[in-house]
């Protein structure tokens, strides 16, 4: 019997456990999970661990701070083999575990479970601010500032932006990465590639800022 599907947060925690075991030979403590994911206390981590145990992914062993076991290695192997074969250097547990967002369906939240392709553990020091997720870049409209097709853009969720900032914006049924400008004539989303045109947002458009770019990860294929 296969285990139940995971929420995005549960997948983050499971990925963190797998990373810790793979790199250190031992699972993380509740405190380490809480620190890596920005929880206020270890109790929040414990609640998610209990949910993972109920869904059949892990076993919790009482009496030890690292009493977390992958319940069925086949599940871990299946998760690992289903991931895109990217490789990141992860030197320790002082890191973030971020969901990777692929294609976003129209009208649904950007962090909806069906948009999450996998999770990555990455060092917080890579970013100017703490990001909430990674977005896979599609296209070359931001090429001239070094954001290329296939890059992973680290995004901090917010609905506010200042002129000149790189934003992730939802316009109608599309999610786009552009440089933000707002003036008396309205909102403008500028590309960083002369082959693309500026998007001028009209008052009738369904427009929303989803977040700010705070860093970039480039994969070597």
Half-sphere CA count of 97, side-chain side, radius 13 A = 27
> What's the Cα-to-Cα distance from 97 to each of 170, 173, 187, 200, rounded to whole Å?
24, 28, 33, 35
Helix then strand count (H, E) for the chain reads 4, 11
Whether the Cβ atoms of residue 29 and residue 43 lie closer than 8 Å to each other: no
Active site residues: 141, 178
Handedness of CA 163, 167, 169, 174 (dihedral sign): positive
φ, ψ for residue 164, nearest 5 deg: 95, -15
The CA-to-CA distance between both ends of the chain, in Å, stands at 35
The whole-angstrom separation of Cα 198 and Cα 190 is 5
């Amino acid at each position: 019997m296969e285990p139940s599907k995971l929420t995005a947060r549960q997948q983050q925690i499971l990925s963190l456990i797998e990373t810790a075991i793979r790199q250190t030979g031992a699972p993380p403590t509740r405190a380490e999970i809480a620190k890596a994911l920005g929880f206020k206390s270890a109790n929040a981590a414990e609640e998610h661990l209990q949910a993972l145990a109920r869904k059949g992914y892990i076993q919790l062993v009482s009496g030890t701070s690292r009493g977390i076991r992958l319940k069925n290695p086949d599940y871990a192997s299946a998760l690992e083999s289903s991931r895109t074969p990217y490789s990141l250097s992860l030197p320790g547990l002082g890191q973030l575990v971020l969901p990777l967002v692929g294609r976003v369906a129209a009208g649904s939240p950007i962090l909806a479970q069906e948009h999450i392709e996998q999770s990555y553990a990455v060092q917080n020091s890579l970013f100017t601010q703490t990001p909430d997720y990674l977005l896979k870049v599609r296209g070359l409209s931001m090429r001239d500032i070094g954001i290329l097709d296939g890059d992973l853009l680290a995004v901090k969720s917010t609905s506010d932006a200042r002129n000149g900032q790189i934003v992730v914006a939802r316009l109608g049924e599309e999610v786009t990465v552009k440089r933000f400008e707002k003036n008396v004539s309205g909102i403008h989303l500028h590309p960083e590639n002369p082959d693309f045109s500026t998007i001028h947002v009209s008052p009738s458009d369904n427009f929303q800022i989803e977040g700010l770019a705070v860093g970039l990860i480039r994969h070597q294929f």
